[in-house]
Amino acid sequence: MQLKGLIYSFSKQVKMLIGAFLIVLSVGFYGSIKFVNLSTNATPQGIEENYLGNEYDEEATVMKFKKSEREILTIIHGHMLSLAVIFLLLGALVAMTNLPDKWQTYIMIEPFVSILLTFGGIYFLWKGVHWCKYVIIISGILMTLSFLAGTLSISYELIKSSNSEVN
């Protein structure tokens, strides 16, 4: 079954549904990025402090404590499951765009690799593998770029197809 270009054939109501979904999904996704920036200062040291604490730093303005095993597993579990569903839905919509096959495949698969690397990196950082903070940063950036590329390509298809329809 060929899905490429399928968005074009959807009714106006389905296109509006997809557009509304993308808007709400994007607000939630970018809101979470803002939260990550606030809790980590978007720095390697901030990432380390967020999970490992900073109670030994007498100069710290905000005291943070190392996450317990229960907390870290809850964070990882919840985020991996919810992001997997988000990127499954987004990937299914990307499959219905007219992007070249290589770009489609990358945008559809890369987020799942980044989910494993980001949250696996968080777990290993928590276990004491400090260089994983760089894996977390790189994979988080790639995941965000894939999200952006996916939502933009779907939005383009919605706008393009609605402008080219004759009713």
CA–CA distances in Å: residue 53 to residues 65, 135, 137? 4, 19, 18
Question: 65: helix, coil or strand?
Answer: strand
Give Rg (Cα) of the chain. Answer: 19
Q: What are phi and psi of 161, to 5 degrees?
A: -70, -35
The sign of the CA dihedral 51, 25, 115, 81 is positive
Claim: this prediction has a pTM higher than 0.85: yes
pLDDT for position 76: 97
- Over residues 39-88, the pLDDT tens digits come to 898 899 999 999 998 888 778 788 889 999 999 999 999 999 999 999 99
> Domains of the chain: which residue ranges?
6-160
For 128-135, which contacts have Cβ atoms below 8 Å and span 24 or more sequence positions?
A: 130/48, 133/44, 133/47, 133/48, 134/44
